[in-house]
Amino acid sequence: MNFEDLQHSWKNQPVKDPGDTDQLKLAMETSWNKHQRKVLRTNLFLSICFLMTCVGLAFIYFSYRAHFGWAFQLSMLFIYILMFIFLAVSWKSYGFRKENRAENSTSYICYQLKKLQWQRKTITVYGRVYVFLLWIDFMCYTWEVTSDGSALFRFSAMAVITFYIIVLMIWQRLTQQKKALKSIDELTSDFSQLKNKLEN
């Protein structure tokens, strides 16, 4: 290829319109803010539910702690610990930091991508680990509180709790998890493209 061909090829390159990047950035900010409002509502709802659960568990503990042994008290303690850890994990996925127009846009986009990655891990990994540990705790609790009952009653109670948790997980995965992951993946892809455009 000679110089004239190179010159002709260079002239035919589309001119990058800075306004396109600004419009894309504005659209992504709108999508991000909408997504963040949804995450905030979910975390607030989860916090309220956990608070109500803590009150209920405290009532059960103080009402029946004299009737049961250390396994009952230990299972209650672990339920509290698990709830607080999962609540902290959920709130970590929320982006408290707001964009400062004076700072580098790519650093803020990297911050958004990290939050989206954490949200995805919360749904796919941490949530499942939490439910599994909670199930083990419920099994210990049920084993202790049904100690005076028959073997049929004890294992039936454990089977019902296990079945309920499995159904709840399947329902949540089919109705909410798939939609949430799709939204997170779309935002991640769009932000990655925007980051590449700003860096080039």
User: Distance (Å, rounded) from C-alpha 47 to C-alpha 39?
Assistant: 12
Higher pLDDT, 195 or 186: 186
The pTM of the full predicted model, rounded to 2 decimals, is 0.73
Query: Residue 178's pLDDT is what?
Result: 85
Query: Residue 5's pLDDT is what?
Result: 56
The 10s digit of each residue's pLDDT in 120-148 is 999 888 988 999 999 999 998 898 888 88
**Res 158 pLDDT > 90:** yes
User: What average pLDDT does the chain have?
Assistant: 83
Query: Residue 160's pLDDT is what?
Result: 95
Query: Residue 16's pLDDT is what?
Result: 47
Query: Residue 104's pLDDT is what?
Result: 58
The 10s digit of each residue's pLDDT in 41-93 is 999 999 999 999 999 999 988 988 888 888 888 888 999 999 999 999 999 98
**Res 184 pLDDT > 80:** yes
**Res 4 pLDDT > 70:** no
The 3-class secondary structure across the chain, one letter per residue, is: CCHHHHHHHHHCCCCCCHHHHHHHHHHHHHHHHHHHHHHHHHHHHHHHHHHHHHHHHHHHHHHHCCCCCHHHHHHHHHHHHHHHHHHHHHHHCCCCCCCCCCCCHHHHHHHHHHHHHHHHHHHHHHHHHHHHHHHHHHHHHHHHHCCCCCHHHHHHHHHHHHHHHHHHHHHHHHHHHHHHHHHHHHHHHHHHHHHHHHHC
Higher pLDDT, 141 or 12: 141
Query: Residue 166's pLDDT is what?
Result: 93
Higher pLDDT, 67 or 158: 158
